[in-house]
């Protein structure tokens, strides 16, 4: 079995300039400082976590044990509790911390200052949800990337959903993002497709050929290719003519690509996903240049007519030129890598492709480093892999008859079921036609996206309409209901946006009293922490978990704290709570937008 090449080192690509609401970020900052001052000779990673029990405060710094062990190794004996005390003594003044406690085991329990929480929430109520400011990067996200002439399948759907969310996340923090659809639109299969097109639609130059279903067109031409030697020969000639850009062949190729393009775009439109198509064909000339470069720099080895490159640490070489002179998937990815680094000036390159291709990408990246194209300390180049989509039988997701599920059918089925559900609950009674359609689509597309994003990216996940349309548990439907409910609480209070703004403007701090208000406010502020974390790990389920916790925390708050109190015929609005609810809804909206889920005000 081939061993994987060495994994890329991790660096601090994420340089935070303003933590916004981030509590963890700020705490990490002051604790790192204190530890460095108290123990300049040891370097152990900071261990900071949310406290598991309110008795232990809000956060815990658990670095003292590690430092104590490191000191011991250096010949100094110091108990963890003493180490912890030394750290606390060096803590800079920090408005965020009200007190610290050191239990005998040497943890440092951190209690947050409620005034700080109230102040941060006040700011959000006046200026809107703010995300951390991170030094800007040019990020290139390669995602979706289906192959022409083969139906886009659920694997591509995962890539599409994850890649879009990653792009949205980066756009939300102000990065410069280039979304690329690296479609498989080049290669020898086009020879047989074009030859078949010439036979089936002799008139194709004058009128657009009605290819219809590209999959059966592909199957027909493949059959001929396998059975008919004369056809096979013509197919090869077509490849050569296509690659030398003869107009008639380019036209035929374009017609074929257009069929795929149209059906793919339908999927992207429904899911509200923006992509720039830049397929393998785009790199054709660049591939020629790459081969030249590799030849002159003596990176190629010839074996049985093929030209191979053996990148450092990789067992399987890259096939740069085939024995028939053609290029491969490897060649196009080398060209794409160079293009993204040098022509596009990407600082951070992301490839959202199923985990099955990880060896391919590790090999390409290793080649890029061998060629001196980039330095890992400066640029981050990574394969963001993901697991398979499984059916409810835990086998590869297929239709009952064993075919690939067409994405359009999959989405349509979601919409149908979502409408059925809404009607079951009689939601159509209090909504207009347009509101119902908006809710239906939000639930269907949001449900499909969320089901994918809420699962740990690297693992396989089971596609189930029943699960994703369930209004209980960590699902999009649950969140969309929770969101709509908060909006409706605010709407029904009768307090106008103006009145709320006025109240917000006159209170520097958003007043917090009840413990559930404090708890909700803390949860609201955690968005910044979560964003910082996800920007680094690109694990979007963390953001989903956050949203789910925020909704349940809101429910806890709402069941104990009256927002509107009805007393003997009159009603009194607790403005601070109303504002907190409003801030919660805005926070949810920000997070949902990053996930590509459209919240609707009414459901
Ligand atoms: N078209 C490929 C597939 O369907 C995915 C391409 C991913 N991007 C890349 N630069 N290789 O498997």
At 7, the pLDDT band (50, 70, 90 cuts) reads very low
Instruction: Pick the atom of ligand 1 nearest to 354's CA.
Output: 12
At 214, the pLDDT band (50, 70, 90 cuts) reads confident
* pLDDT 10s digits, 129-155: 999 999 999 999 999 999 987 778 888
pLDDT of residue 9 exceeding 50, the answer is no
Secondary structure string (H, E, C) spanning 460-504? CEECCHHHHCCCCCCCHHHHHHHHHHHHHHHHHCCCCHHHHHHHH
Residue 445 per-residue DSSP state: H
CA distance 98 to 120: 15
CA distance 343 to 418: 45
Q: In this structure, which long-range contacts are made by residues 525-528, counting pairs with CB atoms below 8 Å and at least 24 apart in sequence?
A: 525/21, 525/22, 525/23, 525/117, 525/120, 525/121, 526/21, 526/23, 527/21, 527/129, 527/131, 527/587, 527/590, 527/591, 528/19, 528/20, 528/21, 528/22, 528/23, 528/25, 528/130, 528/131, 528/132
At 6, the pLDDT band (50, 70, 90 cuts) reads very low
Buried b (16+ CB within 10 A) or exposed e, 228-258: eeebeebbbebbebbbeeeeebeebbebbbe
- pLDDT, position 205: 83
pLDDT of residue 10 exceeding 80, the answer is no
* pLDDT 10s digits, 249-308: 999 999 999 998 998 999 999 999 999 999 999 999 999 999 999 999 999 999 999 999
- Using the structure block, give the residue that is written with the tokens 């990246």: 365
156 C-alpha to ligand 1 centroid (Å): 9
181 C-alpha to ligand 1 centroid (Å): 9
**Percent of the chain with pLDDT strictly greater than 70:** 98
Instruction: Pick the atom of ligand 1 nearest to 184's CA.
Output: 1
Indicate if ligand 1 lies below 6 Å from the C-beta of 182: yes
What mean pLDDT do residues 172-190 have? 94
- Using the structure block, give the residue that is written with the tokens 């194209």: 373
CA distance 163 to 143: 5
Instruction: Pick the atom of ligand 1 nearest to 336's CA.
Output: 10
What mean pLDDT do residues 199-217 have? 85
What mean pLDDT do residues 2-9 have? 45
Indicate if ligand 1 lies below 6 Å from the C-beta of 353: yes
**Percent of the chain with pLDDT strictly greater than 90:** 81
- pLDDT, position 212: 80
State the ipTM, two decimals: 0.99
Listing from the earlier edge strand, what are the strands of the sheet with 108-112? 48-50, 59-61, 108-112, 97-101
- pLDDT, position 12: 64
Helices 247-271, 214-227: crossing angle, 10 deg rounding: 140
- pLDDT, position 2: 45
- ∠21-23-24 over CA atoms, to 5°? 130
* pLDDT 10s digits, 568-591: 888 899 999 999 999 999 999 999
pLDDT of residue 1 exceeding 60, the answer is no
CA distance 38 to 91: 9
- pLDDT, position 235: 94
Q: Is 591 helix (H, G, I), strand (E, B) or coil?
A: helix
Q: Residue 139's beta-bridge partner residues?
A: 177, 348
pLDDT of residue 452 exceeding 50, the answer is yes
- Using the structure block, give the residue that is written with the tokens 């959903």: 161
At 404, the pLDDT band (50, 70, 90 cuts) reads confident
């Amino acid at each position: 079995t081939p061993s994987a090449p060495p994994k890329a080192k991790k660096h601090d690509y994420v340089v935070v300039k303003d933590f916004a609401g981030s509590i963890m970020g700020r705490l990490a900052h002051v604790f790192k400082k204190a530890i460095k001052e108290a123990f300049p000779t040891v370097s152990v990673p900071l261990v900071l976590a949310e406290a598991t029990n309110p008795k232990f405060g809000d956060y815990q710094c658990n670095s003292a044990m590690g430092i104590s062990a490191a000191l011991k190794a250096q010949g100094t004996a110091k108990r963890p509790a003493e180490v912890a005390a030394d750290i606390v003594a060096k803590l800079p003044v920090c408005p965020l911390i009200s007190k610290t406690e050191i239990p005998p085991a040497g943890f440092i329990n951190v209690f947050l200052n409620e005034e700080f929480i109230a102040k941060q929430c006040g700011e959000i109520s006046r200026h809107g949800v703010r995300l951390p400011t991170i030094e800007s990067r040019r990020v290139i996200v390669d995602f979706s990337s289906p192959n022409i002439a083969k139906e886009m399948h659920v694997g591509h759907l995962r890539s599409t959903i994850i890649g879009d969310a990653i792009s949205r996340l980066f756009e939300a923090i102000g990065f410069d993002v280039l979304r690329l659809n690296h479609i498989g639109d080049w290669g020898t299969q086009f020879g047989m497709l074009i030859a078949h097109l010439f036979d089936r639609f002799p008139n194709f130059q004058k009128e657009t050929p009605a290819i219809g279903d590209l999959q059966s067109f592909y199957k027909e031409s493949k059959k001929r290719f396998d059975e008919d030697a004369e056809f096979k020969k013509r197919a090869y000639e077509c490849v050569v003519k296509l690659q030398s850009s003869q107009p008639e062949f380019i036209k035929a190729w374009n017609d074929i690509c257009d069929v795929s393009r149209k059906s793919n775009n339908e999927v992207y439109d429904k899911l509200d996903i923006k992509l720039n198509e830049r397929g393998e064909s785009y790199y054709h000339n660049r591939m020629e240049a790459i081969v030249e470069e590799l030849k002159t720099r003596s990176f190629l080895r010839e074996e049985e007519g093929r030209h191979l490159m053996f990148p450092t640490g990789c067992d399987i070489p890259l096939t740069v030129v085939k024995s028939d002179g053609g290029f491969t998937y490897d060649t196009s990815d080398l060209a794409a890598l160079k293009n993204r680094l040098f022509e596009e000036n990407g600082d951070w390159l992301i490839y959202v492709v199923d985990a099955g291709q990880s060896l391919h990408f590790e090999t390409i990246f290793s080649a890029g480093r061998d060629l001196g194209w980039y330095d890992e300390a400066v640029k981050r180049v990574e394969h963001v892999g993901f697991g398979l989509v499984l059916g409810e039988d835990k086998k590869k997701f297929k239709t009952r008859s064993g075919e690939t599920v067409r994405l359009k059918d999959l989405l349509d089925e979601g919409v149908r079921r979502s409408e059925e559900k809404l009607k079951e609950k009689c939601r159509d009674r209090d909504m207009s036609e347009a509101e119902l359609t908006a809710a239906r689509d939000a639930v269907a597309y949001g449900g499909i996206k969320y089901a994918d994003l809420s699962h740990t990216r690297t693992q396989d996940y089971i596609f189930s309409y029943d699960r994703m349309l369930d209004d209980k548990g960590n699902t999009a439907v649950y969140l969309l209901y929770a969101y709509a409910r908060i909006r409706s609480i605010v709407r029904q209070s009768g307090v106008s946006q103006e009145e709320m703004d006025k109240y917000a403007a006159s209170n520097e701090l958003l007043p917090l009293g009840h413990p559930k208000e404090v708890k909700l406010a803390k949860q609201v502020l955690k968005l910044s922490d979560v964003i910082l974390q996800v920007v680094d790990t690109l694990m979007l389920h963390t953001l989903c978990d956050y949203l789910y916790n925020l909704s349940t925390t809101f429910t806890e708050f709402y069941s104990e704290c009256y927002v509107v109190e009805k007393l003997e015929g009159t009603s009194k609005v607790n403005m601070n709570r109303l504002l907190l609810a409003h801030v919660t809804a805005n926070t949810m909206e920000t997070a949902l937008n990053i996930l590509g889920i459209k919240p609707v005000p009414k459901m």
